[in-house]
Amino acid sequence: MLEYEFRKNEIGRDCLHIKGKLEGLNELASCSVDYLEEIVCSLKKIIDGELDEYDFGFEIYSIECTKETCKVIDTYEEWKEIAVIGTPTLYQLMLDIRQVVISNTVYFIDKCLFFDGVKTYVFKEQHFDWLYSSDYSVWSNSYVEIHNKRIYIIQENVKVLSTFKFYEKAQLELLVEKYNLKIKEENNIYYAYYGNHTERQFQVSENEQLIVIYCLEGERGPESIFIYKVIEK
């Protein structure tokens, strides 16, 4: 069984601590965010049957993965196999490492992160990119995080910025002015928009810590997301 935890160091960063004979795998927490994204996405494809095998490593250890198991190889000991880990277990470890590495990066450089259900992106003010999956069960788990504050933007108190249901015209005009948006009218209904992002409705998600204004875009349903603004309360 792979046992691990994250401990804060003297400057407040969370650091990986794997217990037992596999403590050398702590080196995986030194991987870059981009490399961790590649590892996580590839392991997900292995588990889903889209890849037959995948291997990765850092300095000392190489890990050879198939759908069921992952072999840990010590490259400094004539490529000796030292352990076998279940692929789902290793996948969860890499998800946790990725989250901590990104959170450390975001917290200390004052940036936001966006998780689209599979991939994580770091951004400063706005984010616009394709969703990794068009499956609602995946992208509905999307969240934005900054300074250890998180909001699930598809699930938490979501309102469309229009007069169709949630706002009177005067209320919408005040919000548009407050957040530097623009307003348009279609069939006697007023909508907020920004720049070239006019085809889909802007929405606002809010909890006790954060407010996020965004819109989902696509011809046949949500295919991409534009995050316009993240506000800390």
Q: Given 79, 109, 139, which residue is the final one in a domain? A: 109
The pLDDT value recorded for residue 110 is 66
> Is residue 103 located within the same domain as residue 130?
no
Domain end: 44, 77, 109, which one? 109
Question: What is the domain range of residue 143?
Answer: 125-232
Residue 116 lies in a domain: no
Same-domain check for residues 9 and 99: yes
Inside any domain, residue 62: yes
Residues in the chain where the model's pLDDT stays below 50: 109
Q: How much is the pLDDT for 173?
A: 92
Residue 18 resides in a domain? yes
Give pLDDT, residue 5.
84
- The DSSP bridge partners found for residue 227 are 127, 214
Domain endpoint, select from 47, 82, 109: 109
Pair 214, 139 in one domain: yes
Q: Hunting for tokens 């003297």 — which residue is that?
A: 10
Same domain (yes/no): 86, 175: no
CA gap 147, 105 in Å, rounded: 10
Residue 76 lies in a domain: yes
**DSSP string over 71-92:** EEEETTTTSEEEEEEEHHHHHH
* Domain match, 156 and 101 both: no
Residue 115 lies in a domain: no
Do 67 and 147 reside in the same domain of the chain?
A: no
Residue 164: name the closest of 188, 141, 145 by CA.
188
99 and 134, same structural domain? no
Positive or negative: CA dihedral 163, 195, 141, 15: negative
Based on the domain organization, do 79 and 172 belong to the same domain?
A: no
| pTM, two decimal places | 0.60
Q: Please work out, in degrees rounded to the nearest 5, the angle formed at the alpha carbon of residue 25 by the alpha carbons of 19 and 29.
A: 105
pLDDT of residue 106: 56
Give me the number of domains the chain comprises. Answer: 2
Q: How far apart are alpha carbons 16 and 31 in whole angstroms? A: 12
Does residue 171 sit in the same domain as residue 208? yes
Same domain, 9 and 83: yes
215 CB burial (10 A radius; 0-12, 13-18, 19+): buried
* 114 is a domain residue: no
Closest among 107, 124, 81 to 227, alpha carbons compared: 124
For residues 27 and 79, what is the distance between their CA atoms, to the nearest angstrom? 17
> How far is residue 5 CA from its own chain's centroid?
21
Q: Is 8:102 a contact under the CB 8 Å cutoff?
A: no
- Is 117 part of a structural domain of the chain? no
Give residue 105's pLDDT.
Answer: 64
Q: Domain check: are 145 and 218 in the same one?
A: yes
Same-domain check for residues 17 and 64? yes
